[in-house]
Structure 1
Amino acid sequence: MIKAKKRIKATASIYVVQSKKQASEAIKYLGDIQRELIRLEAEMNDKIAEITASYSSNIEVLKKKSAEIQQGIQIWCEANRDELTNNGKVKTANLVTGEVQWRNRPPSCVIRGVETVIETLKKLNLERFIRTKEEVNKEAILNEANVVAHVPGITIKKDVEDFAIVPFEQEVI
């Protein structure tokens, strides 16, 4: 049994203006709502800033203490590493209230002066370490849309219209 596809329907519009006067009043009301949103967002951000400032000194003190304790634990663990790791047979040591671990990071590559490195790799005939990326040039397609109009997979979207409502605002100088 094949299930019928569920169609997504747009919700019914609740408010539709009926005249130019109503449209004008609705735009004024929309502007009022947008300004109130901006005021509430500013008020919220002010409160967040106050809360952050009130906790920041305590947080900094705790971060500093935490870093000191971690450093002290690491120094002791490094000094006793052979005992903790059974002479390097394991990488984790359980210390009842927690464990310490030694992990090797995977290799990484850092490139500084990309252009110079690429030139050097080319001079040394090591092009296999240079990646070439192919991609469709959309700007060129838009400039010559009629040439590629028959190519499957290319769709040129044009004459798309957006609707915007911009309530007038008076800026205070």
Structure 2
Amino acid sequence: MASNAKRIKNKAVGPVPQSRDEAREYMRRIGSHQNERKRIEATMNEQIQKIRDKYQALAAPHAEQINELSQGLHVWCEANRGDLTNNGKRKSADLGAGEIAWRITPPKVSLRNIMGVIENLKSLGLDRFIRSKEEINKDAILAEPDAVDGIAGISITQGEDFVIKPHESELEEVA
């Protein structure tokens, strides 16, 4: 007979301190491990930066050449655009070693002085171009929780975190 009860799995718990002194020792060890992890992370980031710098330096001359050659190719293609596109009947051309193409980008709206634009649109009766967004003010609800008590769909919850903050010790530089 199969049971309908859900099976609950808990993570295995490691050793548990048996006294305040042992708890203090656990805290000290956690802090020590955190410091070592930070040191390892700093060393890793330093090595990654060295590798990144090395390969960026190797790639830089190629990037410069790509840029220079691309600009020259663009000038030549613009000068010969009619021949390359069959007088505008095509948007691309195959040059044997690769293809070039002219693409029209989608239209985009750029705004400056947004409040001024909104005022102008309102004064011209063009409210359809102004978006109005309704949303719940959660800060106001937290300020007055009794006012929304019992309203379906609103619940105010609060949890508790267990925080471990070992004291950090820093080595002093000696000159």
Q: What TM-score bracket applies, with the shorter chain setting the length?
A: 0.7 to 0.9
Relative to 1, partners in 2 of residues 1:53 and 1:152: Cα closer, same or farther, differing over 3 Å? same
| In structure 1, distance between residues paired with 2:20 and 2:146 | 42
1:60 alignment counterpart:
60
Relative to 1, partners in 2 of residues 1:96 and 1:27: Cα closer, same or farther, differing over 3 Å? same
1:141 corresponds to 2:149: no
2:169 alignment counterpart:
170
Equivalent pairs, count: 169
Length-normalised TM-score, structure 1: 0.87
| In structure 2, distance between residues paired with 1:118 and 1:57 | 48
Relative to 1, partners in 2 of residues 1:85 and 1:5: Cα closer, same or farther, differing over 3 Å? farther
1:87-141, CA deviations, whole angstroms, 9 ceiling, x for partnerless residues? Answer: 2122121222211111101110000111111111122221111111111011111
Length-normalised TM-score, structure 2: 0.86
Q: Runs ≥4 in structure 1, deviation > 6 angstroms? A: none
1:13 corresponds to 2:13: yes
2:73 alignment counterpart:
73
SS of residue in 2 equivalent to 1:39: helix
1:111 corresponds to 2:105: no
1:35 corresponds to 2:49: no
| Structure 1 residues not aligned, in runs of 5+ | none
1:155 alignment counterpart:
155
Root-mean-square deviation (CA), in Å? 2.1
> Which residue type is aligned with residue 10 of structure 1?
N
Shifted more, 50-59 versus 68-77: the winner is 50-59
| In structure 2, distance between residues paired with 1:12 and 1:138 | 38
| In structure 2, distance between residues paired with 1:15 and 1:67 | 61
Relative to 1, partners in 2 of residues 1:8 and 1:115: Cα closer, same or farther, differing over 3 Å? farther
| In structure 2, distance between residues paired with 1:8 and 1:81 | 70
| Structure 2 residues not aligned, in runs of 5+ | none
**Cα shift at 1:19:** 2.5
**Cα shift at 1:6:** 7.5
Relative to 1, partners in 2 of residues 1:98 and 1:9: Cα closer, same or farther, differing over 3 Å? farther
1:22 alignment counterpart:
22
1:16-47, CA deviations, whole angstroms, 9 ceiling, x for partnerless residues? Answer: 22322221111111101100011111111211
SS of residue in 2 equivalent to 1:30: helix
Of all paired residues, the percent bearing the same amino acid is 46
**Cα shift at 1:172:** 5.0
